[in-house]
Structure 1
Amino acid sequence: ANGPLLATGDWTKNLVHLAKTAELKKHALTLQLHTAHILSAHASLEQKNKAIQDLKEQKNKLDSERARLLNCLREINEDRDKADILEATLNKECTDLRQKIQTITDGDYAVAKSDVDKLRQELGHPPLPSLQNTLEEKSAQFLKDLRLQQQNAATAPAPSSSAKRSAEDSGADGQPAKRPRGRPKGSKNSKAKGKDAASTTPVAGSAGTPTV
């Protein structure tokens, strides 16, 4: 029978080396896992930072738009206040005019109309129409004229651009306008005649011409 095997060499050192190598692999795997987690977290952090930057830009745009809308709202409120003031002023003026009309109708107008109707009755003329009838006739005539103006404006044909252009190109008598070209007629002859007249004009003191 064989005897027990005896370890030879520095086996203790080798065993320690193997144990440390196994432990190194274990810690290396753990380190790689943590590194992967850190890299993933960094990528997520960059994405979130970019999203935050985009949100800030969007907020700036929204703030600008809100400021513009608030300014528009302020202008609208100012215009509304002006409209309210103008409406109140017009309502007061209308109330004053109604009171004035009523005062004249019940006072001076009533007295004058009574006198006129009395005199017309004595002269055999019918009485004048009432003030209400006169106002209704005026209102009806005004509405009729306004309706006719609107109908005429709606049915009036608009001048076309081609007709307008042809009217501009035509002269006063309907013929196409012509532009003068070149030198006016007779300009050469007038110059020639001027030269001949200058050459034939007698000069004082020349031969054959008596001098004084």
Structure 2
Amino acid sequence: MKHNILLLVAAFFSLNVIAQDFKSVSDKNAVKAAIEKKHEETTSITADFSEKVYSDMFKEAQSGNGKFYFKKSNKVRWDHTSDNQLILISGESVKLYENGKLVNNPASQKVVKQIQGMMISMLSGDFLNEKDFSIGYQENTKSYKLTLTPKNPRMAKYMSKIELLFSKKSLLLDEMTMTESKNQKIVYTFTNLKTNQSIADSKFTSI
């Protein structure tokens, strides 16, 4: 029993060290400029993603995975393979497929439209203008952490904050955490990122 207590204490202090690992950046404008420059130089992105959904509805985090594609301007393919769900965005055109079938109901279309705006903002770097979010900048030895707080009250009702982890080495997005409330959040981790590769426009219009 004593051994177990010592392990719990050690784990508690380890978690606190991790949580305190980030500190405010010394030059916010320099970090912002570096990330903006990377976005300007990036014409396309492909990556694998894993997903963890934390909710009061589940005893344990729910896992998912898939692949996404981004191409300037305003083209996104979000292929959630574990859920057989696909979102195609090409300019103003937004399509949602579930199990290979197009979903046309108004409620789903409204949600997908909201997702469209957020995804384009995150992938294109538009969020950096702080029009829709106020941004806090932190860093540790490996990453920059940008904490986005919605300015729009309607958005704030379903999204309290978004945390983005950018690799200091590549300036690419490694992780995105979308938090609704203390116990409700989704964490996306991105791997195998490749930039500026040729992607056919049809990738964003057809399954």
TM-score range, shorter chain: under 0.3
Structure 1 or 2: more strand by fraction: 2
Bigger radius of gyration, 1 or 2?
1
Structure with higher helix content: 1
> TM-score scaled to structure 2, two decimals?
0.19
**RCO (CA 8 Å, sep 6+): is it higher in 1 or 2?**
2
Q: How high is the TM-score relative to the length of structure 1?
A: 0.19
